[in-house]
């Protein structure tokens, strides 16, 4: 028998940890300096125009920079990128020091991870505050795809690789 639990912030957090999410690094360019953060709160919104949403804690170092630059890249990580996901979620190293030779610039100037599954170059068209977060509405202007590897996902506070359940 399944019992219902009254909602609290701890129960809500526990529930959301059980929602597997694709792992991305959202990055921006601020006067030649690259900044970014690891995120799972990214999802598609609409096809016309192609738009996604990215939810960012306002305490995150990149939040204010994203609000100002209004341009970001969404880099969809592969299962090989666990170390990068950890680096961009840590406060040990910040800002431009996180970027190395694995990164290049897109035509708009935003950083692109060379071997990402996908890199979406986006313009932030709207920003809305909800609780401690901002929801950034991002119109996708261009994309780079390399869909030949497995994605990295985050589930129950761990990074995981996706394996197919069946072959079609």
Dihedral, CA atoms, 35, 38, 43, 46, nearest 10 degrees?
Answer: 10
Q: What is the pLDDT of residue 17?
A: 84
CATH number at residue 40: 2.30.110.10
Report yes or no on 85 lying in a domain: yes
Q: What pLDDT does residue 147 have?
A: 87
Q: What's the pLDDT at 26?
A: 98
Provide the domain count of the chain: 1
Q: Is residue 96 part of a domain?
A: yes
Separation of alpha carbons 32 and 39, rounded Å: 22
Domain limits at 66? 22-151
- 117 located within any domain: yes
113 is a domain residue: yes
Give the per-residue pLDDT at 28: 96
User: What's residue 168's pLDDT?
Assistant: 64
Looking at residue 106, its pLDDT comes to 96
Q: Give a yes or no: residue 95 inside a domain.
A: yes
DSSP annotation string for 54-101 = EEEETTSHHHHHHHHH-EEEEEEPBGGGHHHHHHHH-SSS-GGGG--T
Does residue 17 lie within any of the structural domains? no
Q: Per-residue pLDDT tens, the chain, 168 aa: give them.
A: 777 888 888 888 888 888 889 999 999 999 999 999 999 999 999 999 999 999 999 999 899 999 999 999 999 999 999 999 999 998 888 888 999 999 999 999 999 999 999 999 999 999 999 999 999 999 999 999 998 889 999 989 999 888 888 766
- 108 in a structural domain: yes
DSSP assigned state of 150? P
The verdict on residue 168 lying in a domain is no
């Amino acid at each position: 028998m399944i019992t219902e639990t009254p909602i609290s912030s701890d129960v809500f957090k526990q529930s959301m940890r059980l929602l597997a999410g694709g792992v991305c690094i959202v990055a921006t360019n601020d006067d030649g300096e690259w900044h970014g953060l690891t995120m799972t709160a990214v999802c598609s919104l609409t096809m016309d125009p192609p738009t996604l949403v990215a939810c960012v804690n306002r305490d995150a170092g990149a939040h204010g920079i994203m609000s100002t630059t209004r341009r970001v890249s969404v880099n969809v990580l592969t299962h090989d990128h666990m170390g990068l996901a950890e680096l961009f979620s840590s406060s040990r190293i910040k800002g431009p020091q996180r970027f190395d030779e694995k990164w290049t610039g897109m035509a708009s100037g935003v950083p692109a991870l060379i071997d990402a599954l996908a890199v979406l170059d986006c313009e932030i068209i709207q920003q809305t505050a909800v609780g401690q977060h901002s929801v950034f509405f991002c119109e996708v202007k261009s994309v780079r795809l390399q869909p030949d590897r497995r994605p990295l996902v985050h589930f129950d506070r761990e990074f995981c690789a996706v394996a197919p359940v069946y072959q079609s």
